[in-house]
């Protein structure tokens, strides 16, 4: 088979992956937990938050697609300063475990699969904080249960490439994004670092690549047989 045939097959597959969960703009949601010695304790509440309140900056945003968008993710600290409230602070340290989620969302799944990929441009988060990329499927018919949750740890200089089968989740909510987890921060304690990421086109798994090559080869063979006839 020709290089052009392989390229066409791969481009078609990437187009299908990239069109999944297309959404305009990033949104934020904060989950708040009790502080269990720096780990999540009991769940308290979750609410939509603005990106600035999460401490997420969209450095580059591309119209019509999230591919190529660049985000900077930092630990949340705005709650620490709220009214000297002991609910949020314990002396010089935060008193709640925060999971800050930044994502694009599709309100009703109508595709068979989803992929989410990108590059970690830099990672300087302080100890006690972590960041992941994720694919989530929420089920509004079952109290928004988390029916699919796939993650990849964000590591400096690396890439992530997530994929999920959505065939059994039609009509549910799909979210592709990132979360930063850890205590609500006291800005007076100095910089707690950040994660800079660039969203990219998903890379087909080797098995997918082989299947595409096989399909293209089969198509070429059929064409040759027809020519011989």
Which one is predicted more confidently, 41 or 23? 41
Task: Measure the CA–CA gap between 213 and 5, rounded to whole angstroms.
Answer: 8
Q: Is residue 217 part of a domain?
A: no
Q: Is residue 10 part of a domain?
A: no
Q: In whole angstroms, how far apart are CA 135 and each of 51, 104, 160, 183?
A: 19, 10, 12, 23
Q: Which of 94, 47, 54, 49 shows the shortest CA–CA distance to 71? A: 54
Q: Which of 71, 25, 67 shows the shortest CA–CA distance to 48? A: 25
Number of domains in the chain: 1
Q: In whole angstroms, how far apart are CA 213 and each of 3, 48, 102, 153, 227?
A: 10, 44, 36, 31, 21
Which residues form the domain of 189?
21-202
Q: Is residue 165 part of a domain?
A: yes
Task: Measure the CA–CA gap between 166 and 184, rounded to whole angstroms.
Answer: 34
CATH number for the domain including 128? 2.60.120
Name the pLDDT band for 83 (thresholds 50, 70, 90).
Answer: low
Q: Is residue 126 part of a domain?
A: yes
Q: Is residue 216 part of a domain?
A: no
Q: Is residue 141 part of a domain?
A: yes
- pLDDT of 190: 77
Q: Is residue 37 part of a domain?
A: yes
Q: Is residue 175 part of a domain?
A: yes
- pLDDT of 186: 87
Which one is predicted more confidently, 102 or 5? 102
Cβ atoms 203, 17 nearer than 8 A? no
pTM recorded for the entire structure: 0.78
Q: At which residue do the structure tokens 């602070």 appear?
A: 89
pLDDT digits over 176-220, tens only? Answer: 999 999 999 888 887 899 999 999 988 765 544 444 334 334 443
pLDDT digits over 66-80, tens only? Answer: 999 999 999 998 888
State mean pLDDT over 51-77. 93
């Amino acid at each position: 088979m020709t290089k052009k045939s392989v390229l066409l097959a791969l481009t078609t597959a990437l187009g299908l992956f990239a069109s999944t969960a297309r959404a305009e703009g990033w949104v934020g949601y904060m989950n708040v937990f009790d502080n269990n010695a720096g780990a999540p304790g009991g769940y308290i509440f979750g609410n939509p938050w603005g990106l600035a309140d999460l401490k997420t900056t969209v450095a580059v945003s591309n119209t019509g697609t999230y591919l190529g968008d660049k985000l900077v993710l930092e630990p949340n600290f705005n709650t620490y300063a709220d009214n000297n409230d002991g609910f949020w602070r314990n002396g010089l340290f935060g008193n709640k475990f925060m999971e800050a989620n930044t994502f694009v969302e599709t309100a009703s799944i109508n595709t068979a699969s989803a992929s989410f990929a990108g590059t970690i441009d830099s990672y300087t988060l302080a100890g006690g904080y972590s960041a992941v990329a994720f694919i989530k499927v929420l089920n509004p018919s079952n109290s928004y249960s988390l029916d699919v949750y796939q993650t990849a740890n964000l590591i400096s200089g690396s890439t992530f490439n997530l994929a999920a089968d959505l065939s059994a989740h039609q009509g549910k909510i799909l979210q592709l994004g990132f979360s930063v987890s850890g205590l609500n921060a006291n800005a007076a304690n100095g910089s707690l670092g950040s994660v800079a990421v660039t969203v990219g086109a998903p890379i087909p798994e080797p098995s997918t690549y082989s299947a595409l090559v096989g399909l293209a080869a089969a198509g070429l063979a059929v064409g040759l047989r027809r020519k011989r006839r």
